[in-house]
Structure 1
Amino acid sequence: MKNTVLFCFLMGITVFFGCEPSTQKGTPEQWKQEILDTERDFAAMAASEGIPAAFVAYAADDAVLLRNNHLIIGKENLQKSFAGSPAKSSNVALSWTPDFVDVSASGDLGYTYGKYIYTLIDSAGVAQRDTGVFHTVWKKQADGMWRFVWD
């Protein structure tokens, strides 16, 4: 009986100390706020420095974008995709606001969604607007920064 009790006690200690806690510091609410702040900074950069600069700056190296039923895989390909894009024009603007954010229990993966407005001023000076809903998946990088892995 003593051996059984000792065995159970040792197993309990082993399990307790053998469990690895989350490597992320903070709480889910803090992580959600970090993601929201990053999303808002991303949108602000798109407005001030242009869409290509913002998307390249906030993309993870392995980011995937779905555009026009086509996947753009990787930050390098993302950068190349903007080469001939109207998004480089000063006549184009993109704005968005996250309506919802959630984060994994481990604090290393999250997502946002909300509404966007894409505006193109044509040669006649008329604004052409496209509106919709965006969905972005965010992953915390080794340096502690949030970068999108899906948009």
Structure 2
Amino acid sequence: MKKITNPFINIFILLLVLNSCSPKSETKNPAYVKLQIVKTEKDFEKLVAEKGPAEGFYQFADSNAVIKREHDTLIIGKTNIRNYYSNPRYQNVTVTWSPDAVTVSDAGDMASSYGKYVWTSKDSSGKLQVSKGVFHTVWKRQKDRTWKYIWD
């Protein structure tokens, strides 16, 4: 009986074996992704502090991002989010936040974070108004490997 050997099958089997033996890539490692999300949250917070909510929420939004705000209003799309935060009432505000927990998808391309925020503004009489709450953000890895929120 003649043994039939196809070099392509041998290469395919070798590649399968090598792939199964390789360590999990960093982009799928949950601990690594969690660190990326925490860093992204801090970079997001810093940009909002430096350039205001309109620019910060715009820069970190996926093109199809959605934010839910007062009275369960949904603002859809990063341009609409920028327009929402361009309202004069958001010009002199500060907001700080920090994630308490981050969850990562098995594929490593989606994550969610939640934690506490403090929103500070002045009313029309100049009196300081402080609002505290809990945020929940859903993140999506972009083709350029950055993270943008799709829900906030």
| Bin of the TM-score, shorter chain as denominator length | 0.7 to 0.9
| Pairing partner for 1:65 from 47, 51, 67 | 67
- Please show how residues 38-117 of structure 1 align to structure 2 within 5 Å: 38-68=40-70, 69-87=72-90, 89-90=91-92, 92-117=93-118
Deviation at 1:76, TM superposition (A): 1.9
Structure 2 CA distance for partners of 1:32 and 1:118, relative to 1, 3 Å = same
Shift of 1:78: 1.3
Query: Percent of pairs identical after alignment?
Result: 38
In the alignment, structure 1 residue 144 sits paired with structure 2 residue 145: yes
**1:85, 1:137 → 2: CA distance?**
27
Q: Structure 1: any 5+ residue segments left out of the alignment?
A: 1-9
Matched ranges for 1:10-21 at <5 A: 17=16
Q: Work out the CA distance in 2 between the residues paired with 1:93 and 1:66.
A: 19
What per-residue deviation string (whole Å, max 9, x for no partner) do you get for residues 28-80 of structure 1?
Answer: 11111001100011011111211111000000001011011111111122122
Deviation beyond 4 Å, 4+ runs, structure 1: none
Q: Which runs of 5+ in 2 are unaligned?
A: 1-8
Q: Distance in 1 between matches of 2:88 and 2:107?
A: 37
Letter in 2 for 1:144: R
What per-residue deviation string (whole Å, max 9, x for no partner) do you get for residues 92-123 of structure 1?
11111111111111110001000011111234
Instruction: Please tell me the residue identity of whatever aligns with 1:148.
Output: Y
Say which is worse superposed, 43-52 or 133-142, in terms of deviation.
43-52
Structure 2 CA distance for aligned equivalents of residues 70 and 124 of structure 1? 27
Root-mean-square deviation (CA, aligned residues, Å) is 2.3
Give the residue type in structure 1 aligned to 2:51.
Answer: E
Aligned partners of 1:25 and 1:60: how far apart in 2? 24
The corresponding residue for 1:126 is 127
- May I ask how many residue pairs the two structures share in their alignment? 134
TM-score by length of 2: 0.79
